[in-house]
Each structure stands twice: as structure tokens, then as C-alpha cells.
A and B are shown apart, each in its own frame.
Chain A
């Protein structure tokens, strides 16, 4: 009994309900974006709840644009990252939803520690603060972001808290309130 077991009182069997949207998603990626697609994990074969596509960093913007415009997955539910360790240390994770059919999919992008990623603000305005949070918590920089600075932690904080090597109790004490950069307001 694991994530592949459909639970009647928690959404039931999405595999049946969204079969056509999910297979359309898989087909679209395999035909139109075969170069950028690295892997696809499907609920039937892997331990995931919705189809998860691993996309390369270079093709990321194109894939997402076509998913948003051609396939209707135009609602960005969540944009976050995770520290997996290994060669390509971080994974950027996007959850998309289609407002018409309510189907959900997940896109993941594996990147190494010091790589920079193109920003998704041209596609979704809401990605602005999500990218700032990813920068704050993981240290992943975004090219083309208008205002990449820390959002949850103090601007003077050193280190990126959600990385696995940052200790849970790594306190950093400040004696003065956060300084404001007047350049921001011009």
C-alpha cells in the first residue's frame, strides 16, 4: 500500500479520471520536445501520484510555454526546489494545473550546484517571488530575474537554509534591523 494505491476518500483514482489528459501530456512531450525530455515517470510504473516529466534546463522555457499555451496547463500551482544530492544536486519542481480539466502534472528540472536557470516570469508573473524564495532557501540563481534577493531570511544571512548541509539550529544573530537599499525604490 503506497502512493499507487488509489484512496477513495482522497481523490480516488486519478489515473482513470485524467487518462486522456495525461496521455496527451506524455505524447506531446515525447513528440514535440523529445530533445529536452529526459525521463517521464508515470503513476502506473513509478511511485508518483501524477505524471512527472524530467526536462533539461535548456529546453525548460520552451516546454513550459507549449504546455501552457497548447495543452492548457496554464495555472502554476507551485514552484519549488529540492536538494537531492549527487552530481546534479538540485531539482526544480513545478506543479501545473489545467483550469478547464483540472488535471495536474509535475515538471522537474535537474541542475548542478552552481548553474543558473532562466526565469519563468515571462510566462507566469507569480513565479517572481517563488524564484526569490528558491534563491533564498537553496542558492539557485535565476537569469533575467528583475530583483533577485532574499525574501524570507534577513538580507545579511549567510548560507542557504534548506540545503541539506545547513544545520537546523544554525542561528545567526543581528543586532540592528535589516538595512534597506535605497536603490530599490527608484
Chain B
């Protein structure tokens, strides 16, 4: 601290700074398949702006994004495609399962629907609703940011395990 009380630098953990940077600059991949996709578009539009929280740049390529927002139904025909997209993303990557259909199959307990995408990809935050209101999705985004700050997400645990040599 300088003589007049101002500080020119502050100390913290490297992890915390990195997590702070990561959580405030999410690059979402909107995997919008059905009705929740329209509410996702509402959240990205000017009414409930998701860009306020840093998630402005939507990239439709898995190589360029780190947040996979699965909005809508995931069929048994689409599930391998979803897994492919998830595998193509680079760590750290996070998944928000938006809506009832993505979280658990929703009202469609039928022969062609995956009953929840957590059978296919590891999910960090589930958003209930059919479709969830944009406020719900923003709440989920903030919860995800909290978890990233604490280092509790699946991807960060995986990275830590890899670093320590654990399986």
C-alpha cells in the first residue's frame, strides 16, 4: 500500500483470478432444438440481455465455445450428435440443461426421447420450466458463474483430477 492509502496491486490466488475471468466471459453454444430455443433467443435478444453477464458472443461452433446450453428436446437420434458436439469442445466446458425436456424428457415419456441429457453429457445446471422464463435462464447462468468461481463444476473437477494424476 502506498503512503496515501491507495494500493497498486493486490494479492490473490491464481485460481480465483482465472475462474473470475472464465465466468465473466462465457461463450455460449446455443444448442436449441425446440420450444426452449425460442426462449433462449428471447434471452439473447434485447429484452433480457444475456450480454450483460458477459455471454454475448454466441458461437455455433464447439471449437470456439465453452458453454453448451442444451435448450429443447434431445431425441435418441440426436443424442449421439450431442455427445459428438460435447466431445469436440475443449476443457473447461460447462453444460446448462435448459427446460424440462432436456433435463428429464419433460412431458414426453415416449419411445423416441432421451429421458434427460445427463445420461449423455455431464450437466452442471438444470433449469426447470416448460419453457423456462428468460429470468430462469439468467438465474441459471448466475448460479453457474457462482459454481465456476468456487471451482465446483464437473469440468473443473476433471481438470484438477488430471493435474493431480488421479483418474
Residues of A within 8 A of B (CB): 153-154, 161, 166-178
Contact = CB atoms under 8 A, between A and B. Distances in A.
A174 B111 contact: no
A42 to B, nearest CB: 37
A174 to B, nearest CB: 6
A174 B110 contact: no
Interface of B: 76-77, 79-81, 84, 109-112
A174 B77 contact: yes
A169 B109 CA distance: 7
A174 B79 CA distance: 8
16 contacts: A153-B77, A154-B77, A161-B112, A168-B109, A168-B110, A169-B110, A169-B111, A170-B111, A172-B76, A173-B76, A173-B79, A174-B77, A174-B80, A176-B80, A177-B80, A177-B81
B77 A178 contact: yes
B76 A174 contact: yes
Question: Taking chain B's interface residues, is the majority helix, strand, or loop, or is none over half, making it mixed?
Answer: loop
A118 B8 CA distance: 83
Contacts of B77: 153-154, 174, 178
Contacts of A172: 76, 111
Contact of A175 (B80, B109, B110, B112): B80
A185 to B, nearest CB: 20
Pick from B76, B84, B109, B111 the residue with the most CB of A within 10 Å.
B111
Nearest to A161: B111
A154 B110 contact: no
Contacts of B80: 174-178
Contacts of B84: 177
A112 B109 CA distance: 31
Contacts of B76: 154, 171-174
A175 B79 CA distance: 8
B139 to A, nearest CB: 32
Contacts of A169: 109-111
